[in-house]
Every structure is written in structure tokens, then in C-alpha cells.
Structure 1
């Protein structure tokens, strides 16, 4: 497999100038805006319809477990789609797959809205996830094609903030839709989003991987490149850091409503405010990363972020074991953990894509695919281990963050400085 030299790759890429009035800069900003929207739509589609689960079961005559299976089907499609579409884009290019994927997401959203029974809805949700994966995995690949140096981590910070906030905002948006209509209207909204995204891709996202920079040898060699990435200790170390941290985030998302509303007795409105405050922690962390990227080593930022997340998760466990269940203590501990998670995301994405720059689509597939796979596996564990304490959620989050720390030290070895912008360019 022949890959372009770093110098030729750098020449083929264009870095946007600093002047915000320059047309090239405005084009870059428009591109990033569309990529951010593409990144957001799949997390929104994941649980935007969750507030409508009871009504959905009544309408379709399905049990609660059957209704919950529709979310599992979507997440499975999201994982499979990223693992397939990412490597394919290294051989076939980005724009065509992005157009087809966004169009298919729109079509399958219509299918979800019109589903006559739970079986059809489950199948449509899997296909919707499969198509929606295109936006997520190719957004990261397009950024890697288009930008380099210290600018790239800042743009990854934008995508990471979207990834952290979208799952939090989705149930709130879904609740607003359900306040005026039925659960089917949620998928109508997603259909409209898909149509707008398709228009955005047509107008603002060019082909960023010209034929001369694509992987030769067809699809077989493309997936062989993905296999090579799987065998690279350092790259997989950062992938596993992201995956385990995502498991902690999904455990929090799945268990926090029970913890705050059932154990601490807060209202649904108050819970939304608590949830929003922790989303703000992730936004602040992402903004801080954007400011520090280029001045502080990315590996140092990552180590600090994992430590912050670990402190928050450990504090929550210790509080429950010593003081007991306290609203303020739980809120503060989760706020700290969310802040750490908010900086882990852009750090690992930036470093991982830099290490996989010769196959950005495959690198993006592994980063995103395992991120959602581990998240989907962790989410139901909170309920499995009991509902009379916040300890199961806290312990699962702590174990996940600790596993991320082990992957960081044993596999990624941040002191080696791999994936830094200057090292990559050199």
C-alpha cells in the first residue's frame, strides 16, 4: 500500500488563513458548521424520542423492552456504519458517501415516522443508524483532510462539544416536540434535519480526498489499512481511552435521571437544569481545550483530563460510601467528571486522527465505532446492578475512567509525545 508523503499531503491540504474577513476563512467556517451539524444529528437521533417511549409502546402494542430495542438497533447501526463507511471513504472519497448517507438517513427517518409496528420500526432504526454513521465518521475524516497543525485540534474541539452536548439536549428537544405532537413527529423533525443537512453537504462540503491521494488497490487494501491500525499499540491506546471514557458518559446519561429524580426527589424541570449544568461543564472544557491547543502538548491535556474525570468519579463513590446520598455532592462530583470527559474527547480525537493520517477514514471509523460500542454496552449496566442507590452508576463510571487511565499509561504512553501536531508534520 502506497501512501502519500507528509510533504505532499501537506501541500494538498489548505489551511484557512487567520483573517476572518477572507473568503477562504468564511468557506472554512461554513464547512466546519456543516460538519458539526452532521456530527450532531446521530446523537440527537439516538435518544430524542426517549420521552415518547410509553406512548410508542401503547401505539404499537409493544412491551417496554421491545421499544428499548429500537435504540439498541440504532446504536448497532451506528457502530457498523462507521466501521464500514470510514475505511471505504479512504478508497472511494468522502463526498459521494456523505451525500448517499445523508440522503438515506432522511429516507429512513421517514420510514421510522410511518412504521406500522415495532418490528418495522426496529429495522428502520438500524438502517437509520447505519446511514447516520456517514455524517459522524466522515466529518472527522474531512477535517483531517482539510486542516493540519494546531488548527485541527481546535476544530475537533467543536465536534467534541457537539458530541458531548447533543445526547444531553436530545431528550429535552424530544420533550418539546412531544408537548405539541406525538412520538412520530420526532422522526418528522429528524427527516427535516436530514433534508437540511443534505442541502448543506451539496452546497458546502467539497471532495477533500482527490483520486491521487486515495488508497490504491481498491476496497481490499482499504480494509487492510484498518487492520494495520488495529495492530498499532499507540493508536489503539488512544482509541481505548476514548472508548472507556465514552462508557463512563453513557453510564451517566442512562443512570442520572433515576439518581436525581428517584433518589433525590428533584422535579423533571430541576433534573433538566442539573443535566444542562453538566453539559455546560463539557462546553467549558472544550472551549478551554481550544484555547490551550497549540500552546500546551495535547498529551499533557489528555493526561490532565483523565485525571480530572477520575477525581470526579472517585469522589462520587467515596461520598456514597461515607456520607451517603447527597444531592449537592452528587451534582458537584458529576460536574467535575463531565468537565474531564469534555476535554478527553477532543484530545483523543486529535491525537488519534493525527496518528492515522495516512488512512483518516479508517482511523475515524475505529475511534467513533468503538466509542459508541463501549457506550452502548455500558448504558444498560446501571439498571442491571440495582436501583436503590447511585453507587452502581458511580462505580461503573469509576471503573470506566480507571480503564481509560490504564489504556493511556500501558498502550498510549503519552510521555512519548505521539500524535502532537509538530511531530506529525515533521
Structure 2
């Protein structure tokens, strides 16, 4: 949702007359593209214990495959937009989808955790590249209220993927092997390729391309990173993302290995938590203009902090009871719906002259935070939630500091 390509920094006055049109098929294809990350991750998360057993590896090493995926996503989004500003949208987009599909096939056939880790990096890099170019196409073809409306539709419909992903992954585990989930992602990659060929035109004609590429992006990046308010809100959203992925990386072990939930039951709980996050984000959108956005963020931060403290108490003294873990996870995920989208929105508002660069940097920071936290959360192994709970508290506390200390101004 925060990862618009850098070309939105180009003033509307410099845009030439558009030949391509914004169609329902194009919008549907971009929604499809934005589902890459949650589907490639959430379909796979319920299988973590089985992957560790089948590949004779540890929980931390399995969680490292999340790290490489997220780091790839971050780099792909950071690089994909500027490169497509030089080369156009359609060919780089098709190349990215094909690379993502090939990496998914390697994951499905992997003989070792090392091969999977490398393939997941490529999968994430190509997926992030495709996502940012897909959004760039929308920015090329829409403006003003139409752009806002279309991006909101993409974000709302895209929120279904984190709900469907774990359920689909659990169904695959019940009926087949965890490797089938990667074959499913590869099949989706083929479908995405066909959708792009049919519905996505070249939206950036040669006369609107520029040779600045990454160099121009770095220059604009220095400007946005010099804005204290922007940096504060990036910290708000990035730290919240870290807390969220401490949950994503470890919850399967906490609920399945420690508390005996089946993959199906776990996936239903995961989907319910994702739904809580989606509902909170929609509620925040309805309250926009009537309730201070900073107050909504603060409410989410306090709820996330409380869930982390309760989780730590349960892990240290009560052996992480199932009901407590499920309640803490739901509160944490619901709180993210108030923290991440609103933090990203206020960050973008703080740098109105560089919205594309601001969005790209936000996306980079958030996915790096996710990738860094995932393996740390698993350092205690499969039978303790103490590292995860500690990271939940740390993420909420850093997010709170970003709001109250760094981003002192704003509304």
C-alpha cells in the first residue's frame, strides 16, 4: 500500500497525452500483482514445522527464508521503479513475473534449506519489482481523485490475500505436500504473465522516460530523509511492521508445535487476525478527518504494547497458554491496521513534493524490518515465545518513540 513507484515525483504538467487507458482488466491485474507477497508468504507459513522436519533443519533456518524473501522484496521495490522509469513498464514487468515464477519452481524442487533460501530471495526481489511497476502503471494512467480512488480499491481488495493465503496453504497441507504451495505460486505466476500480456499496455511512452534512474532517486531520497516528520512516521510504520512479522515468523510454532493446533485451525486463526487488521484499517479510513490520525496511531501502539507485555508474561510464567496467545495475536494484528497504513499516510503527507520517492523508501524500510525481525524471533527455537514477545514489545515501543519523539509535529 505504501510502495508507489518513484515516477509519481514527476509533476502532472510534464506528462504527455496518454495513449493507454485505465481499464477494469488492468486494475484487476495490478490487484493480482499486489497479492504476490502475501500469497507467497502466507501460503507457506502454516508449513513451517513440516519444512523444518523434511529438510532436517531448524526453526531459525526456516524463518531465514522469510528474511531473504523480505530483503528481496525491499530491494526489488527500491530498484524496480527507477529502472522502469528508464526502460518502460511492460517488458520489465513481464521479466519480473517470469523470474518470480522460476524461483517458485526452484523452491518447490529444493533439496536443501540453503537452495530454498537463495530462491526465496530471487522470488521476493522479482515480486517486489513486479509490485512497484504494477502500481507505477496506475500512476501513469490516472490522476487526481481517480488515482486516489483506484489505489484505495487496490488496497482494499488486496487485503483479502492475507486472509485467503493461509487458508489455501492449510488446505494444501491437508491434501498434499508443502511443496505444492510453491507450485501453486508458480501457477499464479503463469496466470499473471498472461494477464499482463492481455490487459497491461505500455503506459510510459519513450518521450516520457528519463535517464536519471537510480541517480535521481538517490538525490530525492536525501531530501525526504532530511525531513524529520517524515522519518518519524517511517519509524512508526517500519517498527510496527517488525512487530507484525515477529508474529508471522513464529506464530506457527507457538500455536502448532507448543499448543497442538492443526494446520487448518492455525490458518483459520491467522485469517481471523488478518481480518481484524483489515477491519481496523477500514475503520480508520472512515474516521479520517473526524478523529486525529495521530490519536488512532497512538491507540494502536498502546494496544500492541499491551499485547506484547501480556505475551511475555504468559511465556515466562505460564508456558504460553493457547487462549492467551490467540488473544495477544489478535490484538497485535488489529493494532497494525491503525499503525501501518496511518503511519505511511502521514509520512507521505510530510513530503508532498516527492511522493514516489517517499513511498519507495517507506516500502524499503518496512520490508527490511520484516526481514530482519523474522529470524531473530526464532532464536529461541520451536518451544518458547519469549523472543517473539520481546520483539513485539520492542517494535511497539520504537513505533511509539517515532510518533512522540521524532515526529513531534503533524496532525
Instruction: State the TM-score, normalizing by the size of structure 1.
Output: 0.77
CA pair 246-142 structure 1, distance change in 2 beyond 3 A: farther
Aligned to 1:241: 236
| CA displacement 1:250-290 (0-9 Å, x = unmatched) | 01222333444455555544433332221111121233244
Match among 99, 111, 114 for residue 106 of structure 2: 111
CA distance in 2, matches of 1:286, 1:96: 34
CA pair 275-120 structure 1, distance change in 2 beyond 3 A: closer
Instruction: Name which of structure 1's ranges 86-95 and 190-199 shifts more when overlaid on structure 2.
Output: 86-95
CA pair 233-91 structure 1, distance change in 2 beyond 3 A: farther
| CA displacement 1:67-125 (0-9 Å, x = unmatched) | 55444332332222222213323444433322221122123323333445554443332
CA distance in 2, matches of 1:92, 1:34: 20
Give the count of matched residue pairs. Answer: 401
Instruction: Name which of structure 1's ranges 233-242 and 110-119 shifts more when overlaid on structure 2.
Output: 110-119
Aligned to 2:3: none
Aligned to 1:346: 341
Q: Does residue 1:8 correspond to 2:3, yes or no?
A: no
Matched residue SS, 1:255:
helix
| CA displacement 1:361-381 (0-9 Å, x = unmatched) | 543332222111111222233
Q: Does residue 1:272 correspond to 2:267, yes or no?
A: yes
Task: Give the unaligned 5+ runs of structure 2.
Answer: 1-6
Counterparts of 1:13-412 in structure 2, within 5 Å, are: 27=22, 29-52=24-47, 67-115=62-110, 117-147=112-142, 155-160=150-155, 166-167=161-162, 169-210=164-205, 214-215=209-210, 217-261=212-256, 266-293=261-288, 295-296=289-290, 300-318=292-310, 321=313, 327-353=322-348, 361-384=356-379, 390=385, 392-412=387-407
Displacement of 1:349 after TM fit? 3.8
CA distance in 1, matches of 2:350, 2:17: 18
CA pair 342-78 structure 1, distance change in 2 beyond 3 A: same
Instruction: State the TM-score, normalizing by the size of structure 2.
Output: 0.79
Q: Is the 8 A contact 1:91 1:216 kept in 2?
A: yes
Matched residue SS, 1:384:
coil
Q: Is the 8 A contact 1:30 1:204 kept in 2?
A: yes
Q: Is the 8 A contact 2:66 2:374 kept in 1?
A: no
CA distance in 1, matches of 2:75, 2:172: 29
Displacement of 1:341 after TM fit? 0.9
CA distance in 2, matches of 1:127, 1:404: 30
**CA RMSD for the aligned pairs?**
3.9
- Bigger RCO of structures 1 and 2 (CA < 8 A, at least 6 apart): 2
Matched residue SS, 1:182:
coil
CA pair 28-170 structure 1, distance change in 2 beyond 3 A: same
CA pair 142-107 structure 1, distance change in 2 beyond 3 A: same
CA pair 170-390 structure 1, distance change in 2 beyond 3 A: same
CA distance in 2, matches of 1:241, 1:91: 32
